Amino acid sequence: GEIESKLNNIIEEEGAAYFVLIDPDEKNYREIANHVKDYADAIIIGGSIGIINLDEVTKEIKEITGLPVILFPGNVDGVTKEADAVLFMSLMNSKNTYWNMTAPTLGALTIKKYGLETLPMAYLGIEPISKTAVGFVGEVNEIPQKKPEIAGIYSLSASYFGMRWVYLEAGSGAEYPVNNEMIGVSKKLSGINIIVGGGIRTPEVAYEKVMSGADVIVTGTLTEKDPKAVEEMKKAIKKAGMDKLK
């Protein structure tokens, strides 16, 4: 699809991409959109708890930023025709089959009707995700940080299923992010695009994650608290991207 090609080009040419997550329930979404429009490569829209005015918020964010707007649905109600694409995902390490397969299946026909481009993605819940909202809601059997190879084999499995994206998720507001070794082994084993998010709050940490193998860095909480922080984040991510390509 068009959006996926665009993102792949950015990853290929710049070594890494930067996504900003906006929770549709966030009150200052206009302010965030305004600040991030010159720095993020794409906006992802989603949240695990409650969604109000998803159509309107998505439409406005698209108008303000002019960036690709990609849905990151927390459930079957997380889709709108106002977006460009959707992360079509399986929470592979949930204990509940609803989050592995039923929710995406129930959402599939709506996605088709809306004509949204789909990016097939494995969503993997990593420690300390259990302490965050998505871990609780998604009944995640969290992958311990000390067992990077488990994330690696899930990523490999995802690639064999034909998925082209893996999201290593520590959870929004996580006390600490996914470790570098886990990112490295996931990238090495799968060869597909690795998105890393949850608990990334400084440019230095973002730099390390990209150098370890992350293709995409996501920040949500940081951007909500300090929308201006995106400028330094972008610099670090792109610097790491170029250093990685060398």
The answer to whether the CB of 218 falls within 8 A of the CB of 40 is no
Tell me the per-residue interface mask from 128 to 167 with ligand 1GP, x by CB under 6 A, - otherwise: ----------------------------------------
Give strand pairing partners of 195. Answer: 167, 216
Which one, 235 or 242, has the nearer CB to ligand 1GP?
A: 235
Which one, 26 or 181, has the nearer CB to ligand 1GP?
A: 26
Which region, judged by CB under 6 A, interacts with ligand 1GP, from 111-119, 141-149, 170-178, 203-211?
Answer: 170-178
The torsion of the CA quartet 21, 194, 138, 225, rounded to 10 degrees, works out to: -30
> Total number of residues binding ligand 1GP (CB under 6 A)?
14
Task: Tell me how far CA of residue 192 lies from CA of 86, 129, 183, in angstroms.
Answer: 17, 22, 12
The answer to whether the CB of 20 falls within 8 A of the CB of 229 is no
Reference 183, options 163, 157, 155, 203; nearest CA is 155
Reference 21, options 36, 9, 6; nearest CA is 36
Tokens of 157: 């499995």
Report which DSSP code applies to 143: B
Which one, 116 or 167, has the nearer CB to ligand 1GP?
A: 167
Question: What's the closest the beta carbon of residue 222 comes to ligand 1GP, in angstroms?
Answer: 6
Please report, as residue ranges, which positions from 79 to 98 form the binding site for ligand 1GP (by CB under 6 A).
none
Question: What's the closest the beta carbon of residue 32 comes to ligand 1GP, in angstroms?
Answer: 12
Question: What's the closest the beta carbon of residue 21 comes to ligand 1GP, in angstroms?
Answer: 5
Question: What's the closest the beta carbon of residue 72 comes to ligand 1GP, in angstroms?
Answer: 7
Question: What's the closest the beta carbon of residue 177 comes to ligand 1GP, in angstroms?
Answer: 8
Reference 187, options 161, 159, 160, 217; nearest CA is 159
The correct pick among 7, 10, 21, 87 for binding ligand 1GP (CB under 6 A) is: 21
Q: How many CB atoms lie within 10 A of CB 161?
A: 11
Which one, 145 or 242, has the nearer CB to ligand 1GP?
A: 145
Question: What's the closest the beta carbon of residue 238 comes to ligand 1GP, in angstroms?
Answer: 18
- Number of residues assigned to the chain: 246
Please report, as residue ranges, which positions from 174 to 233 form the binding site for ligand 1GP (by CB under 6 A).
174, 197-200, 218-222
Reference 62, options 46, 39, 45; nearest CA is 45
Residues at the interface with ligand 1GP (CB under 6 A):
21, 169, 172-174, 197-200, 218-222
